[in-house]
Chains A and B, each alone.
Chain A
């Protein structure tokens, strides 16, 4: 199944309404609402045609003041069967939380911990929500745009 077919199939067969869907040069990109996230992810994994079973990456982008809601949590999931990748984006505001996808792919566990560590986005139902790279008692979230490159001395 090539990228165009995948794009059309996802659009037509999705159980939730997609806030945005487009075909980027490298993969298919889909935007969903935070409340539909878990059901959409389950659909991606369990659907026989799509079979998105390998979680590639979970990360976030900080739009700072240029957009509200501030963050975008971005998931990249790969399908071993079709050799295709899909990008799923969810908009999250500061102080809000996102449901964790570790119940769908366990591999997201450490990846989501890193997103929390670097951006401060909390994931509900995560088995082990702690900081991973920075020290446990670190007060700031380094990859946010208002954190200076030199760090904050305390």
Chain B
């Protein structure tokens, strides 16, 4: 593959990746170095391109739900939620209240899980090994909770079109309660290790600064945008799933450097915990699936004993239902930023065009702006990590 870089004089062209422990996946960075200073960086992506948008055109809407897990695989519940909200908007399906509260709990839990993974691996990139074990200890608890209700840890496909698949059990609520009660103390642990640490400060303070105007102009969203001084969150601006009923703050930074992004994500952990506590306290009773017979599958025990339920299950699974013609763009606040689905429907059971807007893709394009001409090779690692990319979402 040719690279649009030309060596000038004593400069060196260094290749980082695609196999590299600090690029968080299969990302290739080509650096043009003058000494240790990076003059140009060219990110090259596409190594994890699976053609999800093309695959979605050949599968029914229910089958596509499983593919959305694999986008940002560190926070799979959020991806399911974004897709389900887009399809429900297109069909005009109203989700019952209990399902909405459960969805909020799952979305915030996956935000916590994603940020914990980020802190652990980012600290590992910078050189601090201990936070990794601490963070993953809590992430295990979250993944165990996911396994309790959906049977899977990483790709639950739990939030489906019309609601959630199964109701939450008392064991889950118990585990959730013990998790949220003690989580604040663990956050203090992580902060004690990193926030005022002089090595951490010198590696992340004033590194990879993205000014407010640049952040908005480059279309960044999520913690990257917030750290650059824009107090904006899709949960507050365009509320979904009943987020307008919860009290939480939006943390934002002033400097726009790696340290601010770290602080924003740390504070988001606290806010997510706060939201989960409120959700648990106000969990209403009721059904968990919308009463839309042509999209929502019947209960499995009925399917195995009842001929009508069997026929309905067969018809829905083989794609006999019709979604109304139209198009919709719907996005939510994922842990990494804005995950948007633009679905064009031609009235059949398969989407005509399914576009997945991923925040990591747009955020990664700001890497040259952050680094070029200002920083050295070691800072490239810090910058790439602080954007928090997941190649599954970048490449789709």
Interface of B is mostly: mixed
Give min CB distance, B271 to chain A, whole Å.
19
**B329-A142 in contact (CB<8A):** no
- Report which of B53, B238, B362 forms a contact with A107, defined as CB distance below 8 A: B362
**B221-A25 in contact (CB<8A):** no
Residues from chain A with Cβ under 8 Å of B329 in the complex: 26-27, 56-57, 76, 85, 87
- Interface assignment of B241: CB less than 8 Å from any CB of chain A: no
**B46-A133 in contact (CB<8A):** yes
- Interface assignment of B263: CB less than 8 Å from any CB of chain A: no
**A107-B219 in contact (CB<8A):** yes
Interface Cβ pair total, 8 Å cutoff: 94
**A107-B340 in contact (CB<8A):** no
Bound-complex Cα distance A142 to B1 (A): 19
**B1-A135 in contact (CB<8A):** yes
Q: Which of B85-114 contact A (CB under 8 A)?
A: 89
Residues from chain B with Cβ under 8 Å of A76 in the complex: 329, 340, 342, 357
**A57-B340 in contact (CB<8A):** yes
Residues from chain A with Cβ under 8 Å of B51 in the complex: 142
Bound-complex Cα distance A21 to B362 (A): 28
Residues from chain A with Cβ under 8 Å of B327 in the complex: 24
Total residues of chain A contacting the partner, CB 8 A: 38
Total residues of chain B contacting the partner, CB 8 A: 42
Give min CB distance, B105 to chain A, whole Å.
25
Bound-complex Cα distance A142 to B46 (A): 13
A107: nearest chain-B partner, CB-CB:
B219
Bound-complex Cα distance A87 to B58 (A): 25
- Report which of B4, B217, B352 forms a contact with A105, defined as CB distance below 8 A: B217
**B157-168: contact bitstring with A at CB < 8 Å (1 yes, 0 no)?**
000000000000
- Interface assignment of A13: CB less than 8 Å from any CB of chain B: no
Q: A56-B340, A59-B342, A108-B219 are in contact. Are A142 and B2 (CB under 8 A)?
A: no
Bound-complex Cα distance A143 to B49 (A): 13
**A74-B49 in contact (CB<8A):** no
Residues from chain B with Cβ under 8 Å of A106 in the complex: 214, 217-219
Bound-complex Cα distance A105 to B220 (A): 11
- Interface assignment of B395: CB less than 8 Å from any CB of chain A: yes
Give min CB distance, B244 to chain A, whole Å.
12
Q: A87-B329, A130-B4 are in contact. Are A57 and B355 (CB under 8 A)?
A: yes
- Report which of A25, A114, A142 forms a contact with B328, defined as CB distance below 8 A: A25
**B229-242: contact bitstring with A at CB < 8 Å (1 yes, 0 no)?**
01010000110000
Q: A55-B219, A57-B355, A105-B219 are in contact. Are A133 and B45 (CB under 8 A)?
A: yes
Q: Which of A97-154 contact B (CB under 8 A)?
A: 105-111, 114, 118, 128, 130, 132-136, 142-143, 147, 149
Q: Which of A6-32 contact B (CB under 8 A)?
A: 24-27
- Interface assignment of B331: CB less than 8 Å from any CB of chain A: yes
Q: A26-B329, A133-B45, A136-B1 are in contact. Are A110 and B365 (CB under 8 A)?
A: yes
**A56-B217 in contact (CB<8A):** no
**B362-A110 in contact (CB<8A):** yes
Query: Which residues of B come within 8 Å of A, CB atoms?
Result: 1-2, 4, 45-46, 49, 51, 53-55, 58, 89, 214, 216-221, 230, 232, 237-238, 326-331, 338, 340, 342, 344, 352-353, 355, 357, 361-362, 364-365, 395
What are 22 sample pairs from A and B whose C-beta atoms fall under 8 A apart? A24-B326, A25-B89, A27-B329, A53-B217, A56-B219, A56-B357, A57-B340, A57-B342, A59-B357, A76-B342, A106-B217, A106-B218, A107-B217, A110-B362, A132-B45, A133-B46, A133-B395, A134-B49, A135-B1, A142-B54, A143-B54, A149-B58
